[in-house]
Amino acid sequence: MDAEQRQLLLFLCMNANNRKKKISDPLDDTGVAGIFSHLQQHPDTPQSRRVESLLDLLVLLGGVRLGKADKANALARLRAALDRYRFRVQVFPTKQGIQAVYLSARGASTDEQWEYAAVNELLDLLKHEGALARLRRCETCEGWLFALRRSDQKFCSDACRQYLHDNHPEKKTKRLARLRKNYAEDKVRAENAKRRVGYRTR
């Protein structure tokens, strides 16, 4: 048994002991929403890029149709991606009592602090069954979203939903066909009206 396996075994034993008193927090999207807005504002920092590739891996792992081999592969990539992080733990008083908080190393830059907090927040999703399956990209802008209220949510905003609705080629064709039909019907109606007027004036 290597050092890592020993640590894992220790963790599993502790976790089994703690299970009874574990309070599970309700699933909440405020943490991930904060991460998404940071990614939108700072898409090109190395920290944002790493967090985005972590997100991609988590989405992959949350996929329902993922085969056994692909799952093992995604898990191995996630482990490799997480290997770089060296968390330090500290305790802080909060409204819920004293809590342990995982932090970046002392002297870390603001971007690094953000990255550690983001990774921590994303890994917290693993505590909730099915949470990873709610992580996805918006079908319009490809920005991230967390489908908290509706598991089939496809867009990050009403604007993105409307945009795709107005610009989707298939829908656009249908809309044009409808407009053309309305136009043709209006034309017939107008001609009929004209004819009727002509009839009357005659």
CA triple 63-118-52, angle to 5 deg: 50
Q: Is residue 139 within 8 Å of 155, Cβ to Cβ?
A: yes
> At its nearest, how many Å lie between Zn ion and the CB of residue 77?
26
Tokens (6 digits) for 92: 């802080």
**Per CB under 5 A, does 33 bind Zn ion?**
no
102, with CB counted inside 10 A (0-12, 13-18, 19+), is: middle
> At its nearest, how many Å lie between Zn ion and the CB of residue 12?
40
Proportion of the chain in helix, strand, coil states, percent, rounded to 5: 65, 10, 25
Nearer to Zn ion, 63 or 143 (CB): 143
Nearer to Zn ion, 118 or 156 (CB): 156
Tokens (6 digits) for 125: 């999703």
- Residues 137-176, one symbol each (x = binds Zn ion by CB under 5 A, - = not), give -x-xx-x------------x---x----------------
- Determine the interface stretch with Zn ion among 29-37, 38-46, 67-75, 130-138 (rule: CB under 5 A): 130-138
Three-class secondary structure of residue 92 per DSSP:
strand
> At its nearest, how many Å lie between Zn ion and the CB of residue 41?
15
The rounded distance, in Å, linking the Cα atoms of 133 and 158 is 21
Helices and strands in the chain: count of H runs, count of E runs: 7, 4
Nearer to Zn ion, 40 or 192 (CB): 40
How many amino acids of this chain bind Zn ion (CB under 5 A)? 6
Nearer to Zn ion, 19 or 150 (CB): 150
> At its nearest, how many Å lie between Zn ion and the CB of residue 154?
9
> At its nearest, how many Å lie between Zn ion and the CB of residue 39?
13
**Pair type for strands 135-137 and 144-146:** antiparallel
The rounded distance, in Å, linking the Cα atoms of 121 and 128 is 12
> At its nearest, how many Å lie between Zn ion and the CB of residue 138?
3
Nearer to Zn ion, 119 or 138 (CB): 138
Contact residues: Zn ion, CB under 5 A: 138, 140-141, 143, 156, 160
